[in-house]
Amino acid sequence: MLSPCLVPVLSFALLVAWGSLYYAFGVLGHAMQQDLHCSAGTLTGAFSVALLVWGLATYPVGVAMDRLGARSVMMLGAVLGAVGLMGLSAASSVGMVYAMWSLLGLAMAMSLYEAAFALVVQSFASGHRRRIGWLTVVGGLASTVFWPLSYYLGQRIGWRATLLLYAALHLLVCVLLLLSQQPSAQPQAATPDPLHRAAPPAPVRDAMLGYLSVCFAMCGFITAAMAVQAIPMLESRGFAPATALGLAACIGPMQVVSRTADLVFGHHASVRRIGMFTLGLMSLSLAALWLAQWLPILSLLFVVAYGLALGLLTVVRAAVPLELAGTERYAANSGMLGAPSLLARAAGPVGAALLAKAPGNPGTVLLVLLLGSLCGMLLFWRAWRFGQEAW
């Protein structure tokens, strides 16, 4: 029997991990910069190092989860997160800040979506898509919870004490994961999803994973670039800064809407159809924003379509390994898909900044990102087409 509290525990773990390791930096960074007497670029560089370590560690961590169990890896990740946050709270030099963010990057690889999804797959015989969908809905609320929480705590007790409090939450996550341990170590037999057919032969599966890895890497670059370019682009469409900020803020709620819709209705469609729909929405959103230079109202279409696509993209990337290989080596396959995306995400802001200097900006940036989105959709289609031809 499984502990009935596993999914709630994982939901809490994702809220804590995303909120404290990823989102809190955007709120506490200014106070850290002033206290440590360093530039904003120096601190941003430390956070970028964490993202780079996260991307590099994703596949090895996935292999470790398959061999040692995702629960053990997540518990260790929670401990590393606590140690890293405690060390960062005590930092007095730039070198220590970089060292602690490197450790926190490893904690990210062991604590965020990939690890939680792997634990769901290893712990339940069926219903993976539904439980993964629930976790993405909760994870999507992390910024909603931790941005205001970090601001409030930072104002009341300071950034160092706030990080210590977040470190304590990570230790609590470790304890809760231990308490939700399966009483029985007997593995459960996997129940095939009726929407899935038998897994393809290994060479076919690996080739499909290769196509899909490049596809998700392109998506990672696009989403990272848009994270820093969306507001300036909306302003260039004629919106006042406050209005552009308000429109960009609506992208987050749209992610929750699409993930909730997938949670309720997603079991009626295969991941292939949902993936093509998602990438189509992303291309539509970028095209709408480009055309908005002549018709600004299309910026609303961008906000809706892009937010929906962002929300579904996480679900698709989590479900693809199940579609291709079932529960076999799920964590490693997930890491193979996730690592290129995370590395591309780390390069996205820099790439977008270079593109922004090109003639015709912001149109040039958008056209390049739109081309990348269309190529990603083609690669996604080609992966499944290749599977059908060689399966």
Angstrom distance (rounded) from CA 278 to CA 289: 17
Structure tokens at 303: 């906000």
Specify the pLDDT at position 356.
63
Residues 6+ apart with CB under 8 A from 178: 75
What domains does the chain contain, in order, with CATH numbers? 6-179 (1.20.1250.20), 202-390 (1.20.1250.20)
Specify the pLDDT at position 83.
97
Specify the pLDDT at position 352.
64
Angstrom distance (rounded) from CA 289 to CA 302: 6
Contact indicator for 108, 17 with CB cutoff of 8 Å = yes
Query: What is the Cα gyration radius of the chain?
Result: 21
Mean pLDDT, the chain cut into blocks of 10 residues (391 residues total): 76 94 86 87 84 91 93 96 96 93 95 93 85 89 86 93 97 91 48 53 80 92 82 87 86 89 83 93 96 93 95 91 81 87 76 62 79 94 77 58
Specify the pLDDT at position 345.
78
Nearest to 285 by CA among 259, 267, 269, 305: 305
Contact indicator for 365, 229 with CB cutoff of 8 Å = yes
Structure letter (DSSP) for residue 21: I
Specify the pLDDT at position 364.
78
Angstrom distance (rounded) from CA 33 to CA 35: 6
Angstrom distance (rounded) from CA 64 to CA 76: 12
Element spanning 22, H or E = none
Give the CA angle between residues 100, 104, 108 to the nearest 5°. Answer: 170
